[in-house]
Amino acid sequence: MIQITDVWYRAGGNQILSEINLHVKRGEFVSLVGASGAGKSTLLRLIHMAILPTKGVVRVDRFNSRSVKAGDIPLLRRKVGFIFQDFKLLEDRDVYDNVAFALWATGARRSTIKKRVFQVLAGVGLSHKRYARIEELSGGEKQRVAIARALANEPFVLLADEPTGNLDPVTTEEILKLLRKINTRGTAVLMATHKDGLVKTLPSQVIKIKEGRIVP
């Protein structure tokens, strides 16, 4: 599903990633652990094809970083959900519209959008908040909205970049339980975190990254 082969990435004259090899299978839960600046976010952006490798190849389903065209990227991102640490929600829209936005962008019918938004909000426990303003939500609720938005197009993998970095311990556990629940339903999860202890409770493959390299 995701195959990264001998990938290097250089930016601004600096080597950010070196000799990265990684394979994520369908339905797998993978935890990418490393300190801030180790290259975790860069690796997720390569998978999302927000950037392309300087050397090597990234394959995500049928998409290949060597041959991908600009018009292919939106198609890729419909099936690769991305969850950000800082949520990246639309503050001027309510919960429903934030989730629906991901579907509007694909040209989905209004009836399809309504049904799917209600489904994913129920799945993350936020049906009762569907018309709430973003500013009215707690940090944990905002992250749940972000997860619902990432699930809107029924992706085969979720990329989670420090999804609990700004949350308290209780809310962190709630978000991890939600990610585990999503994973048990068949969606692969690739989660980046700097918290070593966080992954001990997860049924995941743990990959450690240090100074741009995967280490034992």
* Domain definitions of the chain by residue range: 25-38+73-215
Q: What is the pTM of this model?
A: 0.94
Distance CA 189, CA 108 (A): 25
pLDDT value of residue 25 = 95
Rounded CA-CA distance 164/177 in Å is: 12
At residue 203, the pLDDT reads: 78
> Does an H or E element contain 58, and which?
strand 55-60
CATH of 25-38+73-215, one of 3.30.70.120, 1.10.357.10, 3.40.1190.10, 3.40.50.300: 3.40.50.300
CB atoms within 10 A of CB 18: 18
pLDDT at 204: 81
Q: Which residue has the higher pLDDT, 56 or 197?
A: 56
Partners of 82 in the beta sheet? Answer: 159
